[in-house]
A and B are shown apart, each in its own frame.
Chain A
Amino acid sequence: MKALLYLTKRSFINNVKKALKKPVSLLIIIGAVLYAVFILVMLGQLVKSVHFGSVKGLLAIVTVWTLYAFLGNFVSYSSKKGVIFRPAHAHFVFPSPISPKAILLHSAWMNYLMSVVVGILFFISGVTVFQVAVWKMLLFFLTGCVLELVLEGSIMVYLYTNDRIPAGVMKWIGRIIKAFLVGVALFIVMYFRKYGVSLESAFAFIDWPGLQMIPVVGWNIAVYHLILLGPSSLNMVCALLYLLTVIFLLVVAWRMKCEGGYYEDAAKFADNYAEMKRRSKSGEMVIGIEKKKKKFRRVNDNFNVTGARAIFYRQLLEYKKEKYFVFSKMTLLTLGIAVLLSRVMKDSAMESGMPEMFLLGIIAYMTLILTGYLGKWENELKNPYLFLIPDSPVKKLWYSTLMEHIKALIDGCILCIIFGVAWKISPFQVIMAILIYTVLQANRMYTKVVAHCLLGDTLGKTGQDIIRALIQMTLLGLGVGVAALVGFTVNVDFVFPIILIYSIIITVIIGLLASIRFHSMEQLG
């Protein structure tokens, strides 16, 4: 165990040293902490302003949190994904002579830290916002940090290290737990559907005796009832049941024999997690940790082109082999945003009399702010063959990104046609909006290359995205300003053509600048 403590201690110290050496990352951390404090203070004021600042208000929040934490922990531990392991664990920790249980419990330190932080936040808010007595909140904190952590650790050990139960049975236990949790979640949804979402129904929900009778999680909530509202026969019985459950599971976990069977799953998870981090760092939109092995269709197409055009035809061939051709998560997201926003914003857009301007705003948001859109073209820059192709950098840039322009055109059609139909925008303006969307997406891609050239890897992907958005807003803002001026003073019909022509000019200029990146593989930054 002392080796694991050494590992964590040294990693922490070295990470702090590294952050101190990089003032930018330190500033980002400080900024994030200040922002979190600001949000919490605002939330505290909001709670007071909606008359939620009472013991029952705290109990309602704690109930939802307990259910959420319970659901999350059980689902992740039953699928053996709740503890974050790194590939280095498989190399240095798993083969070492340290008890597999100790390794598991130690590796979950982030989970405990999270519980302690939440406990501290509840303590502070309980005393300041919800006006609960300090001794009660201390007891509350101890329950969260002792009883709940013991229960969590015991369940973790049971679900991870149970080598006696066959893998198939374990899978079924996991499924039953998930089904139980889905049942709990459905029950809550049904309750609020029946009684409506209001302060009264929320307070009635926490007062409802059935809630405290739900095995384990309900008993856990009963302990908070006992501490915050005082004893009742129900909460005392349920709290006792909770205490007995914790003791029972602790004994079970303690006595369980474990020889490290979970290492196989943990090592696989570690590899998947590292891959997910790598993909997310490279700017890809990553939803799940586990990436399923891609299946490709058989295509026997041949293309007979030379020079940089080969890049486009190779990409086309790759897309033809993909299950959904050029349609991706981004297409789905665009469709979702279009369907949702066209309904939600319909009244305000129609009442303004200028729904086309609302559409322009949405397009601006989609292209300037929304990130996480990574096409095949970004991988082209990592491929040395791109630089060896005997063709001009401008052509290489064009053919590397041509497919992305086609994809943007398709996404633009989905977005603008849905809004156009829903908001009754004229076909001319819809076509203009599609073209503007396509050009702005191209602009986004090229500006990203320029931002990368300017910054290198100093600010990371997020920093690059911020700089990219700033450059885009500055350059395009001028055109939007001119278009708005002409629109209001001369004719509103000029707004779309002005923005389109201006965006094309700016995009061509940025594209020419970005093509420098296609000269050699070496970064300029």
Chain B
Amino acid sequence: MLEIQELSKSYGKHLAVDKVSFFIPDGKVGILLGPNGAGKSTIIKCIAGLLRYTGRIGIQGIGSKRLEAKRMFAYVPEIPSMFEALTVREHIEYVRKAYDSPVTDEQVEEMLKRFDLYDKQDKLGNELSKGMMQKVSICCALAINPKVILLDEPMVGLDPKAIKELKDMVLELRNTGVTVLISTHMLEMVEELWDIMFVMEKSRIIGSYRKDEVGEKDLDDLFFEMTESWETGGEEV
């Protein structure tokens, strides 16, 4: 589970995230929706421990800055950055060592095959295309065997097969009790994945929906219903 309480983050005088709170239980997929600059990536970076912030972030009930919490969560950033002199396989090996991961060699190979990286595992970081880097980033996150996984705009740069695999993978993780948080502005990509959605506008969460409450209602409709109502001065949903 992922628990955010009163999270705020400022860059100088600019308040990027303003007292945001939300909760995603085990085995649920939360999606953070919102326009560019709403503060989605800042929240993800705060959870990943890359930014200073005020408020509390809990991973399986443990403060996110503690090493025990870090051992349980994986992070796929919006823009992947590889170590130039490390091969694809070595990136994964590093992650396994750093997290003391129980993931086996066979599982790694299966993962590489699934994302079409098996024949590219000896390629160096600086020889990879943006899409390939994103796939490596996803494989590294999976090699952690996480309890909570953060995905920041994960579909950008991926080919259709990889997008399909990623979607399947998210559903598989959910079914094994993993908490997933996806930040995106591509609504159609997460249509069939979400359980809870949080909509952001101007540094704040303006509302949330649970899938089991809204039934078969379209994600697009829900999103625009909420943002339009907020823009016209309506109450938070």
Contact partner of B71 (CB less than 8 A), chosen from A11, A91, A94, A97, is: A97
Does A24 belong to the interface (CB within 8 Å)? no
B80 contacts which chain A residues (CB < 8 A)?
A: 91
Tell me whether A264 and B50 are in contact (CB under 8 A): yes
A346-381 with Cβ < 8 A to chain B: none
Does B27 belong to the interface (CB within 8 Å)? no
**In the complex, what residue of chain B is closest to A163 when comparing beta carbons?**
B52
A87 contacts which chain B residues (CB < 8 A)?
A: 81
8 contacts across the A-B interface (CB closer than 8 A): A6-B94, A10-B87, A10-B94, A11-B86, A86-B81, A90-B77, A90-B81, A264-B51
B65 contacts which chain A residues (CB < 8 A)?
A: 259-260
Contact partner of A3 (CB less than 8 A), chosen from B83, B87, B94, B125, is: B94
Tell me whether B85 and A10 are in contact (CB under 8 A): yes
For the complex with contacts A95-B49, A95-B50, A263-B51, 14 further pairs of A-B residues with Cβ separation under 8 Å are: A2-B97, A10-B94, A12-B85, A14-B87, A14-B124, A88-B83, A88-B125, A90-B50, A91-B75, A93-B98, A94-B48, A95-B73, A167-B52, A264-B50
A398 to B57: give the CA distance in the assembly, Å. 58
A86 contacts which chain B residues (CB < 8 A)?
A: 81, 83-84
Encode B42-78 as 1/0 by CB contact (under 8 A) with A: 0000001111100000000000011110110101010
A259 contacts which chain B residues (CB < 8 A)?
A: 49, 65-66
B73 contacts which chain A residues (CB < 8 A)?
A: 95
Tell me whether A7 and B94 are in contact (CB under 8 A): yes
A70-92 with Cβ < 8 A to chain B: 86-88, 90-92
A96 to B99: give the CA distance in the assembly, Å. 7
Give the distance to chain B from A54, nearest Cβ to Cβ, in Å: 45
Tell me whether B70 and A96 are in contact (CB under 8 A): yes
Which size class do B's interface residues fall under?
A: 20 to 34
A231 contacts which chain B residues (CB < 8 A)?
A: none
Tell me whether A92 and B99 are in contact (CB under 8 A): no
Does B82 belong to the interface (CB within 8 Å)? yes
A98 contacts which chain B residues (CB < 8 A)?
A: 67, 98
Tell me whether A91 and B81 are in contact (CB under 8 A): yes
* Chain B residues packing against A (C-beta within 8 Å): 48-52, 65-68, 70-71, 73, 75, 77, 80-87, 90-91, 93-95, 97-99, 124-125, 137, 140
Tell me whether B49 and A263 are in contact (CB under 8 A): yes
Determine which residue in A7, A99, A167 has the highest number of CB atoms from chain B within 10 A of its CB, and name it. A7
A261 to B50: give the CA distance in the assembly, Å. 8
Give the distance to chain A from B119, nearest Cβ to Cβ, in Å: 19
A98 to B86: give the CA distance in the assembly, Å. 19
A-B residue pairs, 10 tightest by C-beta? A87-B81, A3-B98, A3-B97, A97-B70, A259-B65, A97-B71, A11-B85, A14-B85, A96-B98, A97-B67
**In the complex, what residue of chain B is closest to A9 when comparing beta carbons?**
B90
Does A462 belong to the interface (CB within 8 Å)? no
Tell me whether B140 and A99 are in contact (CB under 8 A): no
A2 to B94: give the CA distance in the assembly, Å. 9
Knowing A2-B97, A91-B137, A96-B99, say if A15 contacts B49 (CB, 8 Å): no
A227 to B137: give the CA distance in the assembly, Å. 53
Encode A201-212 as 1/0 by CB contact (under 8 A) with B: 000000000000
Tell me whether A92 and B95 are in contact (CB under 8 A): yes
Does A267 belong to the interface (CB within 8 Å)? yes
A3 contacts which chain B residues (CB < 8 A)?
A: 94-95, 97-98
Encode A10-23 as 1/0 by CB contact (under 8 A) with B: 11101100100000
Give the distance to chain A from B62, nearest Cβ to Cβ, in Å: 11
B97 contacts which chain A residues (CB < 8 A)?
A: 2-3, 6
A6 contacts which chain B residues (CB < 8 A)?
A: 93-94, 97
A12 to B90: give the CA distance in the assembly, Å. 13
A12 contacts which chain B residues (CB < 8 A)?
A: 85
A90 to B44: give the CA distance in the assembly, Å. 13
**In the complex, what residue of chain A is closest to B95 when comparing beta carbons?**
A92
B70 contacts which chain A residues (CB < 8 A)?
A: 95-97
A260 contacts which chain B residues (CB < 8 A)?
A: 49, 65
B51 contacts which chain A residues (CB < 8 A)?
A: 263-264
Contact partner of B83 (CB less than 8 A), chosen from A7, A167, A261, is: A7
Knowing A6-B93, A88-B81, say if A94 contacts B98 (CB, 8 Å): no
**In the complex, what residue of chain A is closest to B98 when comparing beta carbons?**
A3
Contact partner of B52 (CB less than 8 A), chosen from A88, A90, A264, is: A264
Give the distance to chain B from A266, nearest Cβ to Cβ, in Å: 9
Tell me whether A263 and B50 are in contact (CB under 8 A): yes
A87 to B98: give the CA distance in the assembly, Å. 18
